[in-house]
Amino acid sequence: MRRIFLTAWTIWLFDFATKQWAISALAGEPKQILGSFLQLTLVKNPGAAFGFATGLTLLYSILAVLVVATIVYFARAISSGGWQLTAGLLLGSQLSFAGTSLIGLNCRIGQCLISRTLQS
């Protein structure tokens, strides 16, 4: 069981660190790696999956929370090392997705509430 949570934490931490790096290092212009042949550009995703399903982000976030809860619930029953690793990878990715989506949703709701308050 410890392997599941250690793997999930590692995946979440790596994802968080790379997102923070991308936001700080790629803001503004694209960074050229090999001239114009290979460059990194910061693109923000308004949808849930590569820009698709823009209005379904909340639904996907709820599903991600359900997947997290299911993995945590069944974690003690997983005895195979390979399945523990697989469950940890899935748990880490879903924690990252749910966190990013819910934080993004909260920011949008907060901005909406602030702008409506200021307009009143």
Q: Chain centroid to CA 49: how far?
A: 11
How much is the pLDDT for 23?
A: 80
How much is the pLDDT for 48?
A: 62
Count of the separate structural domains present in the chain = 1
How much is the pLDDT for 19?
A: 82
Q: Which residue has the tokens 């599903």?
A: 63
Query: Is residue 73, in this structure, part of any structural domain at all?
Result: yes
pTM above threshold 0.85:
no
Contact at 8 Å (CB) between 5 and 75? yes
- Torsion, CA 56, CA 60, CA 66, CA 70, rounded to 10: 150
Residue (of 101, 106, 73, 98) closest to 11 by Cα position:
98
How much is the pLDDT for 114?
A: 37
Query: Is residue 64, in this structure, part of any structural domain at all?
Result: yes
How much is the pLDDT for 47?
A: 64
Query: Is residue 31, in this structure, part of any structural domain at all?
Result: no
Query: Is residue 115, in this structure, part of any structural domain at all?
Result: yes
How much is the pLDDT for 96?
A: 86
Q: What range defines the domain where residue 109 resides?
A: 2-21+54-119
| DSSP secondary structure of 50-64 | TTB-GGGHHHHHHHH
Q: Please report, in tens digits, the pLDDT of each residue of the chain (120 residues total).
A: 889 999 999 999 998 888 888 888 887 788 888 887 888 888 776 666 666 777 777 788 788 889 999 999 999 999 999 999 999 999 999 988 877 766 654 444 444 333 333 333
Query: Is residue 28, in this structure, part of any structural domain at all?
Result: no
Contact at 8 Å (CB) between 15 and 99? no
Query: Is residue 47, in this structure, part of any structural domain at all?
Result: no
30 secondary structure, DSSP code = P
